[in-house]
Structure 1
Amino acid sequence: MTPFELGFEILLIVLSLSLLLCFIRLYLGPDVPDRTVSFDLIASHAVGMFALYAVRTGSRELLDGAIVTTLLGFLGTLMLARYLERRGLQEEE
């Protein structure tokens, strides 16, 4: 195993542990904004894992998956922010 491959393995392990912490925050989050941030972090971690695995295996198709995951994560965060904004406006009325 080369140092480059070892670096990939270490990065995947660190990303996996960090992803687990993000899922815990998503589950335990006291309110919706905390869950929104954790959802965004989960999407970012997924993109990082897709990219690392794509570089490791030389698969270009996985990079397409990373791009789609980025877009879906952004749209999910955008929808949750819009929901929070509308909910705040309804509470003021």
Structure 2
Amino acid sequence: MIMVGVAVVATMLVAGSLLTFVRLSRGPGLPDRVVALDLIAMYVAGAIAVYAIATDQPIFILPAITLALVLFVGTVAFAMYVEKRNREGRDEQ
């Protein structure tokens, strides 16, 4: 039963990744592309977690959690950069 769930989740991860690659290639601006790249990396973290469940090796959960935390910090840093850039643009006008 657990393998059916793993197969369903893996299929959803692949489908989501493909759709996100489309957004990455068509993204009109830099923020859209960064968010898409972050989402693809989160799919990788999810795939690592699914692999850990499928192989019954919980040691792989820690790298998935670490990757997710690093990605979160990177996204926050990028958001701060975009906010600073927008604020400086308004000050010049």
Same fold per superposition (TM over 0.5): yes
User: Can you list the C-alpha shifts for 1:32-68, whole angstroms capped at 9, x where unaligned?
Assistant: 2322332332233222211111011111221111111
Q: Which residue in the other structure is 2:47 paired with?
A: 49
Is 2:75 the counterpart of 1:77?
yes
Which segments of 5 or more consecutive residues in structure 2 lack a partner in the other structure? none
Query: What is the TM-score when the length of structure 2 is the normalising length?
Result: 0.82
1:54-69 equivalent positions in 2, closer than 5 A:
54-69=52-67
User: One-letter code of the match for 2:61?
Assistant: L
Percent identity over paired residues: 36
Answer yes or no: is the 8 Å Cα contact 1:54–1:63 preserved in 2: yes
Which segments of 5 or more consecutive residues in structure 1 lack a partner in the other structure? none
Cα distance in 2 between the residues matched to 1:36 and 1:20: 16
Alignment equivalent of 2:18, drawn from 17, 20, 31: 20
Cα distance in 1 between the residues matched to 2:17 and 2:87: 33
User: One-letter code of the match for 1:36?
Assistant: V
Q: Post-superposition, which runs of at least 4 consecutive aligned residues in structure 1 deviate over 3 A?
A: none
Query: What is the TM-score when the length of structure 1 is the normalising length?
Result: 0.82
How big is the alpha-carbon RMSD for the aligned residues of Structure 1 and Structure 2? 1.7
